[in-house]
């Protein structure tokens, strides 16, 4: 081991890596577009890292290893894969003569190339961040194929900061991986653990040789009820850390476990032969038996994650201090950290100067969280030193409870008065009949999911309107022109149910946030969604009301252009919550019901304006599913109820659609059924229509539109390909239930490929209809 230094009293688990002004995003995209060279990209990446070091040390993370080395060009799971040699054979030879992966090879795995699809992307725990899924098979030959984290450590050190390098830990890495295509049935990546460990050990040694005192191995998979039993996880944990702990000449190890409680594994993690463990004590519970934990820890440091890394609210420092007191009283050696990496939140709340000062005072973005951690560390050292900071935080939180708009009695009395009937529509059979009378749709009706390509003209019109360069009338006219084009296009192509194309929406959640009370939006509040893609979640801070109709004018205009039914398009309550920063001062159920009531009012206004089909998108239904099974039933209950509350005011003859973006149905199919939507569209093309098996087994009895083409790439599906998928669908689901639609909205596509794809979709539908 290198020189032993204590774990820093104050630290954060990770820091945003896109840059305060999304500098990394811009540099990476410029590099992909061939506008800058690799050296310029490298310089931009270094600037982003340096700015972070400077900021965090300025905020008081001054001890060695307090600043986490969590920079990434694209994704932390991809980083692990590319350091460990988990490079799928299907990409051919991506390594250079020294067996190292270049930055181009790295981006190839992330983005694919002409021959190969990129690594699959999926959600990181219960967040809206997406990681790349490593592919591991018996053939995977682990070795150190990148020294980037070592180089980054050296770079920081040369600039006066000893960081704490970060790697996804070995157990989590394998649990997040999937079996490669060629792997035999039943192969599990976890079976490669013993082969993987020596490569981790080598990286640890390289880091120690470069001077790293601490390294962070992140094992969030240990807080999830997944495919493996607790015993299997315990065995994997023990295998991994017994080996890594015994590595000679390594840095000290922080084993971090963000995103929830370890449950039965707590004392096993505590006893792991490493020097510090981190617990999520914000979302996770305080250990029930601190004395037992203290003895399992055997003197190692417990890094108490008492500051929430995942949401933006100012920490209740008094509550956090009370947790620290309990652990301290048990004789545990403590340090303070965030519960998770702060890359889930934007950089700096103080930059949101346009926000009401009172609202701003309630917020803590990444920089404010670093300061909170420093305050709590000083509390541990000397409670009196933090007294005034704690009192201030307590005062701010109290002011939040009292502030105008946080509680609106008219909203409260409405949610309090809800009864079973408010969540229930008439029986489906009666609805189906009334709707068919109303709509007269052919078998296999064709439709799209809502958005049409968001062209450069649309974006620039919105930007000009925001700057005041276009009047609201001029903006409306431009959007109406676009809607007219989209309606004409769909009529020309022969679609049965039309959409207006959503040109007026910047984003499917922010658009509603901007038009509802109880929300605010930020200017610089970007967070990474995946790779270079960032989102700017809205802030849901108060009781939600709808002052005026939001979508009705657009929908009515679109309907006026056609005899065909026009779908009204809304974002559902669960998705609005999932993709915003949501108030933490009341149960999500209450907040979801408030949003649902606003949508319910919108739906009746749409009906009054003559709209007969209303789609309420819930692509995030699966995302918020709790990581622990014990908590899932309650979540599924409130999320389904909120959707039903939003939609069950619709008349019997109004057809309610919903749209879900993923095809992993297993755990949530009952919930999807319970939404009681008349028609559900889902992603299916990438999984070659496999979802129809689930639907068939489940006996799904209402309308369903399994997507017949993948909108995530510009590739145009051939007519024969769509025909084939439809035939598969018809074999499993009665034709009278089936709808034909793409996988998702078309906003990220261009018009050329969209038109051609949709033409093939309609032609394939006609062919299959003719044979029914
Ligand atoms: N109606 C939305 C659209 O078409 C749905 C987007 C989504 O599911 N993410 O863009
Ligand atoms: Zn979708």
Task: For 168-222, write each residue's pLDDT tens digit.
Answer: 999 999 999 999 999 999 999 999 999 999 999 999 999 999 999 999 999 999 9
Q: How does residue 77 score in pLDDT terms, banded at 50, 70 and 90?
A: very high
Give the whole-number percent of the chain exceeding pLDDT 70: 99
Tell me which residues have their CB within 5 A of the ion that is ligand 2: 619, 661, 744
Cα 655 to averaged position of ligand 1 atoms, centre (Å): 18
Q: Which residues of 25-37 are buried (b: 16+ CB within 10 A; e: fewer)?
A: bebbeebeeeebe
SS3 state of residue 259? coil
Q: Which atom of ligand 1 is nearest to the CA of 451?
A: 4
Measured CA to CA, the distance from residue 321 to residue 378 in angstroms comes to: 10
The yes-or-no verdict on residue 288 having pLDDT over 90 is yes
Task: Say what the pLDDT of residue 663 is.
Answer: 62
φ, ψ for residue 592 (rounded to 5)? Answer: -65, -40
Residue of 615, 744, 747 with the most ligand 1 atoms within 8 Å of its CB, for mutation: 744
Q: Which atom of ligand 1 is nearest to the CA of 571?
A: 1
- Kindly state the helix (H) or strand (E) to which residue 252 belongs, with its residue range: strand 252-257
What residue owns the CA closest to ligand 1's atom 9?
619
- pLDDT, one tens digit per residue, over 389-407 is 999 999 999 999 999 999 9
- State the ligand closest to the CA atom of 662: 2
Is 712 an annotated catalytic residue? Answer: yes
Cα 683 to averaged position of ligand 2 atoms, centre (Å): 7
- State the ligand closest to the CA atom of 684: 2
Q: Are 553 and 37 in contact (CB under 8 A)?
A: no
The yes-or-no verdict on residue 341 having pLDDT over 70 is yes
Binding residues for Zn(2+): 659, 661, 683, 744
Binding residues for L-methionine: 449-451, 502, 617
User: Given the DSSP bridges, would you call strands 135-136 and 68-69 parallel, antiparallel or unpaired?
Assistant: unpaired
Q: Which atom of ligand 1 is nearest to the CA of 660?
A: 8
User: Given the DSSP bridges, would you call strands 178-179 and 679-682 parallel, antiparallel or unpaired?
Assistant: unpaired
**Backbone φ/ψ region at 710: left (φ over 0), alpha (ψ -120 to 50), beta:** beta
The yes-or-no verdict on residue 511 having pLDDT over 60 is yes
Cα 756 to averaged position of ligand 1 atoms, centre (Å): 20
The yes-or-no verdict on residue 595 having pLDDT over 60 is yes
| Section 530-536 average pLDDT | 95
Global pTM?
Answer: 0.95
What residue owns the CA closest to ligand 1's atom 6?
745
What are the residues facing 165 on neighbouring strands? 69
Q: Which atom of ligand 1 is nearest to the CA of 449?
A: 4
Task: Say what the pLDDT of residue 263 is.
Answer: 96
CA distances from 280 to 40, 273, 308, 361 (A): 38, 20, 8, 25
**Lookup: tokens for 757:** 């794809």
Measured CA to CA, the distance from residue 538 to residue 272 in angstroms comes to: 40
Measured CA to CA, the distance from residue 645 to residue 424 in angstroms comes to: 8
Q: Are 687 and 725 in contact (CB under 8 A)?
A: no
φ, ψ for residue 630 (rounded to 5)? Answer: -60, -25
Q: Which atom of ligand 1 is nearest to the CA of 661?
A: 8
Cα 681 to averaged position of ligand 2 atoms, centre (Å): 8
Residue of 617, 618, 661, 683 with the most ligand 1 atoms within 8 Å of its CB, for mutation: 617
The yes-or-no verdict on residue 1 having pLDDT over 50 is no
CA distances from 263 to 159, 220, 287, 631 (A): 41, 12, 9, 13
What residue owns the CA closest to ligand 1's atom 10?
745
Give the whole-number percent of the chain exceeding pLDDT 90: 94
Measured CA to CA, the distance from residue 639 to residue 641 in angstroms comes to: 5
Residue of 447, 448, 501, 502 with the most ligand 1 atoms within 8 Å of its CB, for mutation: 502
The yes-or-no verdict on residue 42 having pLDDT over 60 is yes
The yes-or-no verdict on residue 2 having pLDDT over 60 is no
User: Given the DSSP bridges, would you call strands 517-520 and 538-545 parallel, antiparallel or unpaired?
Assistant: antiparallel
Residue of 121, 130, 449, 683 with the most ligand 1 atoms within 8 Å of its CB, for mutation: 449
Q: Are 680 and 639 in contact (CB under 8 A)?
A: no
- pLDDT, one tens digit per residue, over 440-493 is 999 999 999 999 999 999 999 999 999 999 999 999 999 999 999 999 999 999
- State the ligand closest to the CA atom of 551: 1
- State the ligand closest to the CA atom of 682: 2
Measured CA to CA, the distance from residue 625 to residue 669 in angstroms comes to: 13
Measured CA to CA, the distance from residue 484 to residue 473 in angstroms comes to: 16
- State the ligand closest to the CA atom of 571: 1
Q: How does residue 331 score in pLDDT terms, banded at 50, 70 and 90?
A: very high
What residue owns the CA closest to ligand 1's atom 4?
745
| Section 496-518 average pLDDT | 97
- Give the range among 84-88, 207-211, 688-692 with minimum mean pLDDT: 688-692
Binding residues for 5-methyltetrahydropteroyltri-L-glutamate: 22-25, 123, 128, 533-534, 579, 623
Q: Name residues whose C-beta falls within 8 Å of residue 389's C-beta, 6 or more positions apart in sequence.
A: 317, 375
Pocket lined around ligand 1, Cβ cut-off 6 Å: 449-451, 502, 508, 569, 617, 619, 659, 661, 744-745, 747
The yes-or-no verdict on residue 297 having pLDDT over 50 is yes
**Lookup: tokens for 572:** 């559902």
Strands lying side by side in the sheet with 538-545: 517-520, 538-545, 580-582
Q: Are 327 and 334 in contact (CB under 8 A)?
A: yes
Position with higher pLDDT, 691 vs 394: 394
User: Given the DSSP bridges, would you call strands 164-168 and 214-218 parallel, antiparallel or unpaired?
Assistant: parallel
Instruction: Dump the DSSP string for 511-559.
Output: HHHHHSEEEE--SS--EEEETTEEE--EEEEEEEE-SS-SSHHHHHHHH
Task: Say what the pLDDT of residue 685 is.
Answer: 84
Q: Which of 130, 524, 698, 712 is catalytic?
A: 712
- pLDDT, one tens digit per residue, over 352-375 is 999 999 999 999 999 999 999 999
Cα 767 to averaged position of ligand 2 atoms, centre (Å): 26
The yes-or-no verdict on residue 138 having pLDDT over 80 is yes
**Lookup: tokens for 46:** 């270094």
Cα 14 to averaged position of ligand 1 atoms, centre (Å): 31
What are the residues facing 519 on neighbouring strands? 540
Task: Say what the pLDDT of residue 3 is.
Answer: 60
- pLDDT, one tens digit per residue, over 627-673 is 999 999 999 999 999 999 999 999 999 999 999 987 677 778 999 99
Residue of 659, 682, 748 with the most ligand 1 atoms within 8 Å of its CB, for mutation: 659
Chain center to CA of 306: 22
What residue owns the CA closest to ligand 1's atom 5?
745
Average pLDDT, the chain: 96
Binding residues: 22-25, 123, 128, 449-451, 502, 533-534, 579, 617, 623, 659, 661, 683, 744
- pLDDT, one tens digit per residue, over 221-263 is 999 999 999 999 999 999 999 999 999 999 999 999 999 999 9
Cα 619 to averaged position of ligand 2 atoms, centre (Å): 6
Cα 664 to averaged position of ligand 2 atoms, centre (Å): 13
């Amino acid at each position: 081991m290198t020189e032993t230094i204590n774990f820093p009293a104050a630290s954060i688990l990770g820091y945003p890596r896109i840059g305060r002004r999304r500098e990394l995003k811009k540099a990476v995209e410029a590099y992909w577009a061939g506008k800058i060279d690799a050296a310029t990209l490298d310089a931009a990446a270094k600037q982003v890292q340096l700015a972070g070091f400077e900021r965090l040390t300025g905020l008081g993370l001054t001890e060695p290893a307090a600043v986490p080395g969590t920079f990434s060009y694209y994704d932390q799971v991809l980083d692990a894969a590319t350091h460990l040699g988990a490079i799928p054979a299907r990409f051919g030879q991506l390594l250079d003569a020294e067996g190292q992966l270049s930055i181009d090879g790295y981006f190839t795995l992330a983005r694919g190339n002409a021959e190969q699809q990129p690594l699959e992307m999926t959600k990181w725990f219960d967040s809206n961040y997406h990681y790349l899924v490593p592919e591991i098979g018996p053939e995977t030959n682990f070795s150190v194929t990148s020294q980037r984290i070592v180089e980054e450590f050296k770079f920081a050190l040369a600039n006066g900061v000893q960081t704490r390098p970060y790697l996804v830990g070995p157990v989590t890495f394998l649990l997040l991986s999937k079996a490669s295509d060629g792997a035999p049935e039943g192969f599990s990546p976890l079976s490669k653990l013993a082969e993987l460990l020596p490569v981790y050990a080598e990286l640890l040694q390289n880091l120690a040789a470069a001077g790293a005192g601490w390294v962070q191995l992140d094992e969030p998979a240990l807080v999830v009820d997944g495919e493996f039993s607790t015993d299997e996880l315990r065995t994997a944990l023990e295998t991994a850390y017994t080996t890594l702990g015994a590595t000679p000449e390594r840095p000290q190890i922080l084993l971090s476990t963000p995103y929830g409680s370890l449950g039965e594994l707590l004392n096993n993690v505590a006893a792991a032969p490493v020097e510090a463990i981190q617990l999520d004590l914000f979302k996770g519970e305080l250990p029930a038996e601190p004395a037992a934990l203290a003895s399992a820890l055997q003197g190692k440091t417990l890094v108490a994650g008492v500051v929430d890394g995942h949401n933006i609210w100012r920490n209740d420092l008094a509550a956090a201090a009370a947790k620290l007191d309990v652990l301290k009283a048990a004789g545990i050696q403590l340090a303070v950290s965030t519960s998770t990496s702060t890359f889930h939140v934007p950089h700096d709340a103080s930059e949101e100067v346009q926000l009401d000062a009172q609202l701003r005072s309630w917020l803590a973005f990444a920089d404010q969280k670093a300061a909170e951690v420093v305050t709590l560390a000083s509390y541990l050292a000397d409670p009196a030193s933090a007294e005034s900071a704690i009192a201030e935080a307590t005062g701010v939180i109290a002011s939040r409870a009292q502030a105008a708009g946080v509680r609106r009695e008219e909203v409260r009395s409405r949610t309090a008065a809800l009864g079973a009937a408010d969540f229930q529509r008439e029986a489906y059979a009666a609805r189906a009949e009334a709707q068919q009378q109303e709509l007269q749709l052919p078998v296999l009706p064709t439709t799209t999911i809502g958005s049409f390509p968001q062209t450069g003209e649309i974006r620039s019109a919105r930007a000009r309107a925001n700057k005041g360069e276009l009047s609201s009338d001029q903006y409306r006219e431009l959007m109406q022109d676009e809607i007219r084009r989209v309606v004409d296009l769909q009529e020309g192509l022969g679609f049965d149910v039309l959409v207006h194309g959503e040109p007026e929406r910047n984003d499917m959640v922010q658009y509603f946030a901007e038009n509802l009370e109880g929300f605010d939006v930020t200017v610089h509040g970007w967070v990474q969604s995946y790779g270079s893609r960032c989102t700017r979640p809205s802030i849901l801070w108060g009781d939600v009301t709808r002052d005026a109709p939001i979508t009705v004018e657009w929908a009515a205009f679109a309907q006026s252009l056609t005899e065909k039914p026009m779908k009204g398009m809304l974002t559902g309550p669960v998705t609005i919550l999932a993709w915003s920063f949501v108030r933490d001062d009341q149960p999500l159920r209450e907040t979801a019901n408030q949003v649902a009531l606003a949508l319910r009012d919108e739906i009746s206004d749409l009906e009054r304006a003559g709209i007969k089909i209303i789609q309420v998108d819930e692509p995030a239904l699966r995302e918020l599913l709790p990581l622990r099974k014990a908590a899932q039933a309650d979540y599924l209950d409130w999320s389904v109820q909120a959707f039903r509350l939003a939609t069950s005011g619709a008349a019997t003859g109004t057809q309610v659609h919903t749209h879900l973006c993923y095809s992993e149905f297993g755990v949530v199919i009952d919930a999807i059924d319970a939404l009681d939507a008349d028609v559900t569209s889902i992603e299916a093309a990438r999984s070659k229509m496999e979802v129809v098996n689930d639907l068939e087994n489940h006996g799904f009895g209402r309308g369903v539109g399994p997507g017949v083409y993948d909108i995530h790439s510009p590739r145009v599906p051939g007519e024969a390909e769509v025909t084939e998928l439809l035939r598969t669908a018809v074999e499993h689901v009665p034709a009278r239930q089936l709808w034909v639609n793409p996988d998702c909205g078309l906003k990220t596509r261009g018009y050329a490929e969209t038109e051609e794809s949709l033409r093939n979709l309609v032609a394939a539908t006609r062919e299959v209809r003719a044979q029914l």
